[in-house]
Amino acid sequence: MTSTESNIPIVAFQGEHGAYSEEAARRHFGANIDTLPCRTFLEIIEALQSGRAQYGMLPVENSLAGTVIPAYDLLIDYDLHIQAEFILRVEHCLMAPPGTTLADVRYVRSHHQALMQCEQSLRRLGLEQVDYYDTAGAARDLAANPQPATAAIASALAAETYGLDILARSLEDQDFNFTRFFVLGMSYPARHDPSKTSIILTTRHVPGALYASLGELARRGINMTKIESRPRRNRPWHYLFYVDFEGHEEDEPVREALLGILRHASFLKVLGSYPAAKS
Instruction: Let me know whether 125 and 150 are in one domain.
Output: yes
The low-confidence residues of the chain, meaning pLDDT below 50, are 1-2, 4
**pLDDT tens-digit map of 240-265:** 999 999 999 999 999 999 999 999 99
Residue 225 annotated to the active site: no
How many domains would you assign to the chain?
3
Instruction: Let me know whether 46 and 181 are in one domain.
Output: yes
Residue 40 CB coordination number (10 Å): 12
Instruction: Let me know whether 63 and 181 are in one domain.
Output: yes
What residues contact residue 195 under an 8 Å CB cut-off, 6+ apart? 246, 247, 248, 273, 274, 275, 276
Domain encompassing residue 128: 93-168
Instruction: Let me know whether 181 and 155 are in one domain.
Output: no
Q: In which order are the strands placed within the sheet that holds 165-168?
A: 128-132, 107-111, 150-154, 93-96, 165-168
Active-site residue, from 35, 100, 150, 179: 179
pTM comes to 0.90
Name beta bridge partners: 168. 94
Active-site residue, from 181, 182, 197, 245: 181
The upper half-sphere exposure of residue 124, i.e. CA atoms within 13 Å in the direction of its Cβ, equals 8
Tell me, what's the pLDDT at 238? 85
Tell me, what's the pLDDT at 64? 83
Tell me, what's the pLDDT at 1? 40
Instruction: Let me know whether 203 and 238 are in one domain.
Output: yes
**pLDDT tens-digit map of 94-127:** 999 999 999 999 999 999 989 999 999 999 999 9
Tell me, what's the pLDDT at 39? 93
Instruction: Let me know whether 250 and 139 are in one domain.
Output: no
